[in-house]
Structure 1
Amino acid sequence: RKSLKTAAGDVNILAFPVKHWGARKQRDMHRGYNGYLLERNGRRILFAGDTALANSFAELRQHRQIDLAIMSIGAYNPWIRSHCTPEQAIEMANAAGAQFIMPVHHQTFRLSFEPFREPIERFKAALKDTPERIALREIGETFVLPQ
C-alpha cells in the first residue's frame, strides 16, 4: 500500500496480482502486471487492468465495499488465459464486493475473434437482474458515483 499526494488530495494505492501475460514482445518475459485499488475520501475504486479469471479479488473485500470496479470484458477469444469473459469479470467484481461495475476493453478495435458487440451484450445479459450496477452501457457515456 502506498499513499500518494496529488493536487486533489491524498490517494492510497494498493497493487494486487492479476492473471495476464505482462510481456510486450515475444521474448520479453520479465514484465509484471497488477490491478490497483485506489482509495480517497472514503471512496474505493478498483482498476483490474487486463486479467484472466483470478482469485485475488476476494481478498480486497476484507477491508470495505468497493464503490466501483473497472473491469476488462473483451479479447477473451482465443486469449482466455490473459483476458476474462464478461461473466468472469462480473464474478471477480462480485468477489471484491463491488457496488458498481464499469466494463472496459471492448469495442475500440478488433483485438480478438469474438463478434464486436458480444462482450457488452454478454455483460448486460449477465447483469439483467441488477442492471443498476452497470456503470456504463455504451462508449461515450458518463458515470458519476452516487454519494
Structure 2
Amino acid sequence: MKQRRASPKAAKAGTAAAASDAEPRPWHHMPDGTFRNPEGCDSRGQGRMRHAGPFFLEMLKMGARKVEVPEGHVVPRGEAVRDLQAYVKGEDDFLTWLGHASFLIRIGGLTVLTDPYLTTFAGPAGLGPRRYVKSGVPISALPPIDILVVSHNHYDHLDERALARLPNKKSMMVVVPLRLAKFFRDRGFPNVVELDWHQRYETRGVSVTALPVVHWSRRSGFDTNRTLWAGFALKSEEHHLFFGGDSGYGPIFSDIGDAYGPFDTALLGIGAYEPRVMMKASHATPEEAVQMGRDLKARRIVGMHWGTVLLTVEPPFEPPERFVKAAAEQGYEPENTWIMRIGETRPLAGAWPSNV
C-alpha cells in the first residue's frame, strides 16, 4: 500500500497537498476546521434559503407522484447479473452502472465500487428520497471489491445500509476524502485511507488520486463541511478514468485537465440541477457536464447522477436528452457519449496518453 502526493503539476489546480506544520494552510482548509470549494468556484450561499420553501413544496408534490420509467432505462435484473458475471470471468476491464453515482469498475484488473447508494432511501432510518429504480445489480451478486471509493458523505452517495451488507469488508481497501475514515472503521472496514485533494493511493498497478470538485458535505444538522468532498482519478497502464462524484461546474476542471489529463473516460453528474439558484454550487447542468468533459480533456463522457431518485425539480428524464444534444454540439462523437442503462455493463477498451 502506498499513499503519496501526486505530481507537482497538481499545483496548477490551485491548491497544495495536505498541509503540514511547515506548509501554509491550503485554500480549501478553513481556520475553523471546515472545508470550502476550490478558489474561484461557487459555494452554497445564504441567499439560497429564500428559495428553500418553494423548492421543498415542489419536491413534496413530485414525491407524491409516481415516476414513469421509460422502457429500456433498466436492464432486467437477471440479464444484468448474467452479463456482469460474464465480464467478471473474463479479463477485460469494464464499467457497470448500478444507478445514480454508483458504478462497478474493473480497471487494471482491480474491481472498484464507487459511491454505493444501493438500498431504497437516500436518508437515515427509512427517511429521505426513495429510489424509483432498484440498484442495477443486487448487493448479493456483486463480485469481491478490491477498492471502495466514496466521494463524500451525503446519503445518496454514502449508504450505511448498503455498507452493512457488502461482503469482504476485511479485505477491501476504502479510499475516502479527509475525515471520513472513522465512519468506515466504526462499521467494520479496517483498511481505510484518507486523501486530501491531490494526494494519491497506489496498489497493484492502479493509482487513485483525490481531486477537487465543487460541492459540500453534511451527514447531520451539525456537521456541515466538516468532512471533505472529492472526485477521483483512477489510472492503470491501460486506462485513465475520472469519477466526478458530485459537483457543480467551475474553472477547477480546466486546471485538472491541464494537470492530470487527458482522460479516457469521465463519469460526470448530469442530474439534480434545478432550481439553479439552489443547485449551481452543488450540481452541474447537462451542458456544464459536457463542458467539464472538454475541460478535463476526456475522450469519452458518461452521464451519471440521474434516473434513480428524485432530488430536485427538473423532469427526471430530461438530463440525458440535454446531455446528448450538448455533447454533439461540443464535438463529441455518439460512440463517446454514453448514456447507460441501469444494470448495463460495457467494456473499457482503448488506451489514451496521460500526463500523470
- TM-score of the aligned structures, taking structure 2 as reference length: 0.38
1:138 aligns with 2:336: no
Q: Cα distance, 1:143 vs. partner?
A: 2.4
Name the counterpart of 2:223.
28
Pick the aligned partner of 2:316 from 116, 119, 123: 116
Which structure has greater strand proportion? Answer: 1
Name the counterpart of 1:4.
202
Q: Deviations over 1:33-91 (max 9, x none)?
A: 01111111142100111001122222233344200000011111132221110110110
Q: Distance in 2 between matches of 1:60 and 1:48?
A: 12
CA separation of 1:28 and 1:64: change in aligned 2, threshold 3 A: closer
Q: Cα distance, 1:141 vs. partner?
A: 3.1
1:87 aligns with 2:282: no
Flag the structure with more relative contact order, 1 or 2, with Cα contacts below 8 A and sequence separation at least 6. 2
Pairwise CA RMSD: 1.7
Q: Distance in 1 between matches of 2:320 and 2:339?
A: 10
Name the counterpart of 2:46.
none
CA separation of 1:137 and 1:125: change in aligned 2, threshold 3 A: farther
Using the aligned pairs only, state the percent identity.
33
More displaced 10-residue stretch of structure 1: 97-106 or 60-69 = 60-69
Give the conservation status (yes or no) of the 8 Å contact 1:45–1:66: yes
| Letter of the 1:93 counterpart | G
Instruction: Provide runs of 4+ in structure 1 moved above 6 Å.
Output: none
Pick the aligned partner of 1:100 from 300, 310, 322: 300
Q: Which runs of 5+ in 2 are unaligned?
A: 1-5, 7-199, 351-356
1:73 aligns with 2:270: yes
| Letter of the 2:237 counterpart | N
Pick the aligned partner of 1:38 from 202, 215, 234: 234
| Letter of the 1:44 counterpart | H
Please state whether the residue corresponding to 1:125 is helix, strand or coil: helix
Give the conservation status (yes or no) of the 8 Å contact 2:320–2:339: no
| Letter of the 1:88 counterpart | E
Which structure has greater helix proportion? Answer: 2
Please state whether the residue corresponding to 2:242 is helix, strand or coil: strand
Q: Which runs of 5+ in 1 are unaligned?
A: none
Pick the aligned partner of 2:243 from 47, 59, 80: 47
Give the conservation status (yes or no) of the 8 Å contact 1:136–1:142: no
Please state whether the residue corresponding to 1:94 is helix, strand or coil: helix
